[in-house]
Amino acid sequence: MKREYIRPLIRKLESGMMNKFGQSPLYARKVTTHIDGVAVDDLVKEFGSPLFVFSEKTLREKYRETYSSFSTRYPNVAFGWSYKTNYLKAICAIFHQEGAMAELVSQMEYEKAKDLGIPGDQIILNGPHKPMETLETVLADGVTVNLDHFDEIYDLEKVADKLGKKLTVGMRLNMNTGIYPQWSRFGMNLESGQAMDAVKRMAKGGKLALGGLHCHIGTFILEPKAYAREVEKMIQFAYRVEEEFGFEIEYLDLGGGFPSKIRLKGTYLSPDVGIPSLDEYAEEICEALWKNLKPNHFPKLILESGRALIDDAGSLITTIWASKRLPDGTRAYVADAGINLLFTSFWYKFDVALDRPASGPNETSVVYGPMCMNIDAIDEGTLLPPLSRGTRLIFTPVGAYNNTQWLQFIEYRPNVVLVGEDGRVEVIREAEDLTDVARRERLPDRLRVYPKSRPTASRTG
C-alpha cells in the first residue's frame, strides 16, 4: 500500500525551559492506567468514551478532611453542599450522607434537593432570583433564605403576610476584603451603608427578623487572609445589628470560594506550590472568629465550599480520534470530548495523563474537541509525545462545574460513572440519546417532510 506523503518539517527539540518562576513547562508523560484501581481500558470498554469518572473515596475523604479542618478549630460548624458545583443525584447524596446541608440558588435546585428527600431545615437558599412561589414554598418548608436585594425584602414581607407569621431570614452581604475584582452584584453592600439601610427597612416593616449573615466573596480565592477580613467585618456588623435592632444573628455563612488544586490559565506556579492548603483557610477563618466573637458566643459557622470538595474526585477520559499538522507546524489532535463537556477549560488548564507510555519527541500540541467550532480546544500548549489514534487522555481534576455547565450541543452527553469505595463501578448518569434531545420538541404536522403529511380536508370540500 502506498503510504501517505507527509511533508518533512524541521522543528526545534522542545526539552522544556524553566519559566521565570523556576517551574518546568507542562509535560504530559504521566501514565494513568487505572482510576481508583479500575483499568481505564475496562471503563471505556464497558461505558464508552468520552467518560466522566468520579471517585467516591476521594469525595468522602475530601469532605471529611475539610470538615475536620474547621470542626477541630471551631465548635459549631456546618457545610452546605453547593448544588450548582455538581448536582448529580449520587454526588449530592454522598455529601448529604457525610452530613452536608444543601446550598441552592434556584427553584430547580430546590426541586432536586426535595427529590432526594432533604428536609427544609437542611436547606439554604441563596441567589438573586427567587420567584414569589419559590419563596412561599421554601419558607413554609423551613428553609434558610438569604435575601439578596431590596425587592426581595418587599417580596418576603408579602410572603410573611400570606403565611401569617413573622419570618426570620438571612441577608447576603458584599464587602471589600482586598480581593479584586470585588464581587458586588450579589447581596447588600456593607461599606456604603446599604446593608444597614436594609436592616432598618426590615425592622421598620416589622414582618421580618434578621437571623443570619451570608457572604460569598468570590470563587478560586487564593488569599486566605481575605476570609479573615470577611469574618471580622461580618461579626462587627452582626453585633451592631444585635445592639441597635435586637435581632439575633445565629449564623455566619461565609459562602465558598476555596480553590481546588487546579491550574488557573495564565498562572506560572504549579497548583502544588501556588495554592494554599484548606488548613490555611480554616486557620485564618477560625482565628478571626475567636478574635472577634464575644467570649462563649459561637454562632453557627456555615461553609458552602464547592470546587475544593469535588474537583479532585472527577476525571474525564477522552480518546484521540485523529491527529493533524496545522499549517504553522503545530501538532494538533482531535479528541472525542470538547468544550461541550469541559466548559471550565476556558479558565483552567487541566492535568493531562496518557493511558499508555508513548515514545518520541515532545511537541507543543493542541487538543481539539469534536465540535465543528473553532473555539473547541480543551488543551493548548502542553508538551505531548506523538499520540497514536485511540490513545486515551485522562483529564483531571474536572469534578467541579463541568457536569452542571456542560452543553447538550452537537453531540450527546456521555455516561458518568462512580467508582465506589469497594471498586464497584456504577452509572450515575446515563449517556444521552435522541430521546433526551427530542423529548420536549414538537413538530407541527404541517411541517412534516417525511413521510409527507396528507393535506387536511379543505373547509369547503
Ligand X SMILES: Cc1ncc(COP(=O)(O)O)c(C=O)c1O
Sites of contact with ligand X (CB under 6 A): 82, 85, 103, 126, 216, 219, 255-258, 304-308
Q: Is 159 helix (H, G, I), strand (E, B) or coil?
A: helix
Closest CB to ligand X among residues 227, 333: 227
Distance in angstroms (rounded) separating the CA atoms of residues 411 and 406: 11
In degrees, rounded to 5, the angle at the alpha carbon of residue 31 between the alpha carbons of residues 29 and 37 is 160
Distance in angstroms (rounded) separating the CA atoms of residues 245 and 290: 24
Question: Please, what is the minimum distance in Å from the beta carbon of residue 300 to ligand X?
Answer: 16
Closest CB to ligand X among residues 47, 258: 258
Query: Do residues 313 and 418 make contact, with C-beta atoms less than 8 angstroms apart?
Result: no
Question: Please, what is the minimum distance in Å from the beta carbon of residue 217 to ligand X?
Answer: 10
Closest CB to ligand X among residues 32, 174: 174
Question: Please, what is the minimum distance in Å from the beta carbon of residue 329 to ligand X?
Answer: 39
Question: Please, what is the minimum distance in Å from the beta carbon of residue 95 to ligand X?
Answer: 13
Instruction: Bin 187: left if φ > 0, else alpha if -120 < ψ < 50, else beta.
Output: left
Query: Do residues 207 and 247 make contact, with C-beta atoms less than 8 angstroms apart?
Result: no
Residues 6+ apart with CB under 8 A from 43: 35, 51, 53, 317, 417, 425
Could you give the C-alpha distances from 78 to 87, 252, 299, 304, 358, in angstroms and in order? 19, 10, 11, 9, 47
Q: How far is CA 275 from its chain centroid?
A: 17
Question: Please, what is the minimum distance in Å from the beta carbon of residue 181 to ligand X?
Answer: 14
Closest CB to ligand X among residues 313, 393: 313
Distance in angstroms (rounded) separating the CA atoms of residues 328 and 99: 54
Q: How far is CA 439 from its chain centroid?
A: 27
Closest CB to ligand X among residues 305, 365: 305
Q: Is 281 helix (H, G, I), strand (E, B) or coil?
A: helix
Q: Cα dihedral sign for 64, 70, 72, 75?
A: negative
Question: Please, what is the minimum distance in Å from the beta carbon of residue 359 to ligand X?
Answer: 39
Question: Please, what is the minimum distance in Å from the beta carbon of residue 106 to ligand X?
Answer: 11
Closest CB to ligand X among residues 27, 347: 347
Closest CB to ligand X among residues 257, 314: 257
Question: Please, what is the minimum distance in Å from the beta carbon of residue 161 to ligand X?
Answer: 28
Closest CB to ligand X among residues 219, 364: 219
Question: Please, what is the minimum distance in Å from the beta carbon of residue 129 to ligand X?
Answer: 12
Closest CB to ligand X among residues 49, 344: 344
Residues 6+ apart with CB under 8 A from 426: 90, 417, 418, 420
Distance in angstroms (rounded) separating the CA atoms of residues 170 and 138: 14
